[in-house]
Structure 1
């Protein structure tokens, strides 16, 4: 038989999973934010390399390498976005 003390203890242990602390952002939110910042830095590096190639300040090898890195970063972001949209659509299809 479950005593009221055991039930209260189980509830207090499960409470953070149900209602996490609203004061601090979760680790997932922080990781998403840092990934977005890294993506923005990658695009800025690409812009700088493209501008440098147009003005003659950057070599072709560096430009091609930067384009490949930017392409990989863009494909990753698009894939993540597609997964988020797919999950959202799946939630919308759930019966209430």
Structure 2
């Protein structure tokens, strides 16, 4: 066995724990699912406040705040979708 390959194997073994995910960290799928639940909850809350405002049971300030929150949530989701589509198109353009 060559000394350089032994040294490389030792360096790899030493750096491997630094690359492993932390045991308490959530995966990307779980984080994405949580973000989708938060998005749906924001839209549901805004819809309930809008319904209450139409019947006169809600404060106008709460309505404006709910509309701003839902607008921000939709803009964020649209931006995320655009980034995902852009990344997918970039992968399609890669030579095989």
Check whether TM > 0.5. Answer: yes
Task: Give the match for residue 45 of structure 2.
Answer: 45
Partner of residue 57, structure 1: 57
Please give the per-residue CA displacement for 1:25-71, whole angstroms capped at 9, x wherever unaligned: 72x11111111100000000111011001111111110001000110
Pairwise CA RMSD: 2.7
TM-score using structure 1 length = 0.75
Aligned to 1:20: none
The residue matched to 1:88 in structure 2 has which SS? Answer: helix
* 2:71 is the alignment partner of 1:71: yes
Report the 3-state secondary structure (helix = DSSP H, G, I; strand = E; otherwise coil) of the residue aligned with 2:95. coil
| Closer/same/farther in 2, CA of residues 84 and 49 from structure 1, 3 Å limit | same
Question: Does 2:86 match 1:82?
Answer: no
Structure 1 stretches (4+) deviating beyond 3 angstroms? Answer: 6-14
Q: Name structure 2 gaps, 5 residues minimum.
A: 20-25
Q: Distance in 2 between matches of 1:81 and 1:60?
A: 32
- Aligned residue number for residue 22 of structure 1: none
Q: How many residue pairs get matched?
A: 91
List runs of 5+ in structure 1 lacking aligned partners.
18-24
Q: Distance in 2 between matches of 1:77 and 1:39?
A: 8
